[in-house]
Amino acid sequence: MNRSCKKNIFLKYIVLAVSCICFSIIPVWAQIHIIPQPLHLTAQKGNFILTSKAIIGVDQQSEAVGTYLQNYLTQYYKLNLKLKVYPHVPTTVAIKLVSNNSKGAQGAYTLSVAPGSVNISGNGAGVFYGVQSLIELLPASIIKPLKITACKIADEPRFQWRGLSLDVCRHFFTVDEVKKYIDIMAHYKLNVLHWHLTDDEGWRIQIDKYPRLTEVGAKVALYAKEGKFRKLDNLIDGGNDGFYTKAEIRDVIKYAQDRFVTILPEIEMPGHSEAAIFAYPELGCQDSTGAKHRVRMLDPSEHTFNFLEDVLTEVIGLFPNQYIHIGGDEAEMIDWLKSPTAVTLMKKEGLKDEKGVQSYFIKRIEKFLISKNKKLVGWDEILQGGLAESATVMSWQGEAGGIAAAKMHHHVVMTPLPYMYFDAPQANEELEPIGWNPPVTWQMVYNYEPQSSQLTPAEAAYILGAQGNIWTEKIPNAPHLEYMVYPRALAIAELSWSTKENKDIDRFDYKMKQQYGLFKLWDLNARLPDIVGVDHIATNKEQFKTTLKYPLLGARLRYTLDGKMPDDKIQSVPFPVTINVPLRESLTLKTYTTWTLNSQHIMQTANIRRININAAKENITNLKPGLSYKLIKTKEINYAKLDTITPAITAVINTANPMVLPVTDGDITWVKMNGFIKIDQEGDYEFTSGFELSPALFIDNEPLMIKDKNTYVEPQKAILHLKKDIYEFSGYYSADDANSKQTLFQLKTADGKLLDPQTYLFHL
């Protein structure tokens, strides 16, 4: 193939990817801020006035939901409404809840709020979900009269699996704390609680046949002090003791059922089993070499399988749902190669390696669960050695396992790193509570799409939904748990309920910030929002001026410009805060935000870099539209070495937003660009990038954007005063599937007008 043909093929990968922020009408958002976004929502004129005189009328099928609403209004608004059950609920009833048993999607509902009445109908959980939307329409404080904005809603979920996990092994949470966790889930129509009940650090579920599992395995703090067992080095403290009795578990299950939340129990195997092995050492993988080391792997013996079947029989007797999670992740399978039991099993069953033992183990447990009319769920490692026939895969190591399972026509729940892991910090790691992995912001969660473009529509149908995961090594108490989970869980709620077409991150941002009144009402310690306007800025201006805004009324700010963290010697001031100071050299802005309705504080920091920009030195003529590009295909990750590699393509791109799509052949698609920015009118300009991980961008060799900074964690922009002239422009980035759908850069005037790149981008 000649070079010209290659160039033509390459140009097919060029896309026009102009994206602009479309702001919806704020007054509508201010009135109706339901999360997740309903399928169809129409604002109406007027309000429904709610008083204690109103009657909640229900049919027999909706009585439990009516009681729930009645209790909610009493608890939070001191309203004592009467509840009446009717064979046919009359139209004269103020609040009408009716189960219509229609053939629509499970959980579908309609809600109509008019000046004289509220009507909710649905099938299955639909009436309950309609009530949750009604709750979000209520004011977040007890005010009179209590007004509910008139509207009409017709709604249904996109996915049937909308989950959150709760790890109680590393740190134990009480029954009341678990119930509160379920309450908040239910408010946002999340419907699966993945209850992680056993792990190396703790066994938290009563098993009658094996009492030492809780007598020994649940006493984390006791044995931590004695230094006797378990992977306690990852805990921020010594852990805590505790387990759930069967009576307590039945109580929690009933509580969840009343809120249409299914509980998925997880009993870890064959790894992550140190607590069980400490209680019953004969379960542990034996080492034929006699080496002494921590044992977290179950030996694949008949005794072990009998033990697991006994345990699972008691678990199945408690949990009525169809799924049982058996873990399967991070198994230290190499231990089996030294186990006489495992080696004998490999010879007997013709297993080639330790992965074959993993597959045998999972398939054997699957067969048992099927005999009990249950379905097996496991982490994506259960794909290793061959996937059990009816297994559902929970894909956590990324999307690859889930995609592979869906292509094999297995059901999948998408829970991939990093997007679905809420034990990661939510902002700059230095300013947040300790967590695992790099930061994951709510925006990153919201932008995630569970049905990969790599799947056909038929394959995508095997994606049951999505789930947010939380592991509690670094989370010792319930307020800290709430801080880590919320508001990120709201993003899970919307991406798993609302259609792709109905998602709008700016609308969600506004709605999410309206939830903080409800959070206060519910005593939920959700992480506070960030200040609007704390951005890393490159500027050639001699004055730094910005206005810091905050979405919550009553918030106050302390700040410094010398890089020191503001202390209590600095007087706090209310928002908005205008900063206007001379800028002779770079400075560091640090902020400390508090809110009167919350005991939290939020810290943020931003560097203001003073740069010098000069116009191009030469008298440049004969400019042509677009930028010059070099495309380099390589496995090299060091940008400094790219000049030694021959470009695969040299091209000129002339589009409104020049973007190069990656060629997915295993190499990195490096893109180097250069050209000029032509300014026709002197003035102030704002330069931004829409990449989640920023590109490196330069004007006159001065860095405007520093590469690979997460735009949600460390937002960057350049505020430049440019004369009417021509400026050298260059940059580089690595193209991938994610940024191929994002805007490389934008240039705006001081008044916010977005400029067309075709009017200012040129090359020689």
- Of the chain, the end-to-end C-alpha distance in Å amounts to 28
Cβ-contact 504, 36 below 8 angstroms: no
Q: State percent of the chain over pLDDT 90.
A: 76
Residue range 674-700, pLDDT digits in tens:
999 999 999 999 999 999 999 999 999
Q: Give catalytic status of residue 449 as yes or no.
A: no
Report which secondary-structure segment, H or E, holds 114. strand 109-114
Measure CA 38 to chain center. 19
CA distances 249 to 472, 473, 750, Å, are 20, 23, 60
Confidence (pLDDT) at 230: 54
The mean per-residue pLDDT over the stretch 555-570 comes to 93
3-class SS string, 391-417: CEEEECCCCHHHHHHHHCCCCEEECCC
Helices of type H across 319-353: 340-349
Which band of pLDDT confidence, cut at 50, 70 and 90, is reported for residue 738?
confident
303 given a catalytic annotation: no
CATH topology classification for 161-197+225-521: TIM Barrel (3.20.20)
Percent of the chain whose predicted confidence (pLDDT) is above 70: 92
Q: Give Dmax over CA atoms of the chain in angstroms.
A: 88
Looking at the domain that runs over 3-19+613-763, which CATH code has it been given?
A: 2.60.120.1560
In this structure, of 52-56, 597-601, 673-677, the range with the lowest mean pLDDT score is 597-601
Yes or no: domain 34-155 corresponds to CATH 2.60.40.1840: no
Distance CA 526, CA 479 (A): 8
pLDDT recorded at residue 351: 94
For residue 517, is pLDDT > 90?
yes
Beta strands in 387-495 (DSSP E): 392-395, 412-414, 463-468
Query: Could you read off the pLDDT of 474-488 as tens digits, one per residue?
Result: 999 999 999 999 999
Pair 681, 751: CB distance under 8 Å: no
199, 268, 423, 482: the active-site residue: 199
Q: At what angle do helices 126-137 and 63-77 cross, to 10 degrees?
A: 20
Please give the pLDDT value at position 7: 34
> Residue 224: pLDDT band by 50, 70, 90 thresholds?
low
668: which 2 tokens? 């990195």
Residues 423 and 470: beta-carbon distance below 8 Å: yes
Catalytic residue among 194, 272, 410, 536: 272
Q: What is the C-alpha to C-alpha distance for residues 18 and 7, in angstroms, rounded to an integer?
A: 23
Whether the full predicted model's pTM is greater than 0.85, yes or no, is: yes
What is the Cα 495 distance to its own chain's centre?
Answer: 9
> What's the 3-state SS for 170-213?
CCCCCHHHHHHHHHHHHHCCCCEEEEECECCCCECECCCCCCHH
**What is the pLDDT, as a whole number, of residue 421?**
96
CB 613, CB 540: distance < 8 Å: yes
What pLDDT shows up at residue 386? 87
Give the 3-state secondary structure of 133-178.
Answer: HHHHHCCCCCCCCEEEEEEEEEECCCCCEEEEEEECCCCCCCHHHH
Give the containing element (helix H, strand E) for 677: strand 668-679
Q: What is the pLDDT of residue 231?
A: 53
Residue 661: predicted pLDDT? 58
Residue 560 β-bridge partners: 590
Mean pLDDT within 65-85: 97
Confidence of residue 25 (pLDDT cuts 50, 70, 90): very low
Please answer whether residues 600 and 527 qualify as being in contact, where contact means their C-beta atoms are separated by less than 8 angstroms. Answer: yes
Q: What is the Cα Rg of the chain in Å?
A: 29
Q: Single out the catalytic residue among 63, 241, 287, 330.
A: 330
Closest CA to 544 of 507, 508, 577, 582: 582
Q: Is 330 a catalytic residue?
A: yes
C-alpha angle 251-252-256 in degrees, rounded to nearest 5: 120
